[in-house]
A = this chain, B = another copy of it.
């Protein structure tokens, strides 16, 4: 199955998700790990569409999500860079484009290593707090911890 750029944009406008999680991680310099992820979920009858999207972006993993639903998840930063270049050149038409632009800012900052300093990580957390899927109370707490560390 070959996918055209516009088909991928239309399908992502409907089914794609741009998530960023900020998880505690004792081995990271700032105590937190930033995990951006592009996800597409489908019923198992359309598993081949997820594999076609995986080929289209040149990366990601397709696994069972729950029940009869499968997910393509792209987490590797080098592949997310391609995903971001693609959706910058072929803009989403729904309001999901607003989410994408915040997601892309974080991916670009991570490619510059900004998530490895408390100041950069705090900027990333502030962007994440503006995203639809954000767990704001938890992110506020992370931001508070980072600000304590910056003040020291």
User: Which residues of A are in contact with B by a Cβ distance under 8 Å?
Assistant: 1, 3-15, 42, 45-46, 49, 52, 93-95
Pairs A–B under 8 Å by Cβ, sample size 27? A1-B93, A3-B93, A6-B6, A6-B7, A6-B10, A7-B7, A7-B9, A7-B10, A7-B13, A9-B10, A10-B11, A10-B13, A10-B14, A11-B11, A11-B13, A11-B14, A13-B14, A13-B49, A14-B14, A14-B15, A42-B94, A45-B94, A45-B95, A46-B95, A49-B93, A49-B94, A52-B93
* B-chain residues with CB within 8 Å of residue A8 when the two chains form the complex: 10
Q: Is B1 in contact with A4, judged by CB distance below 8 angstroms?
A: no
Query: Separation in Å of the A106 CB from the closest CB of chain B?
Result: 22
Count of identical protomers in the assembly: 2
Identify the closest chain B residue to A11 (Cβ).
B10
How distant is the Cα of A49 from the Cα of B91 in the complex, in angstroms? 14
**A39 vs chain B, min Cβ distance (A):** 13
Closest to A5 in B: B6
CB distance from A16 to the nearest CB of B (A): 9
Q: A1-B93, A6-B6 are in contact. List 17 more A-B contacts (CB 8 A).
A: A5-B6, A6-B10, A7-B7, A8-B10, A9-B10, A10-B13, A11-B11, A11-B13, A13-B49, A14-B14, A14-B15, A15-B15, A42-B94, A45-B94, A46-B94, A46-B95, A49-B93
A5–B4 Cα distance when bound, in Å, is 11
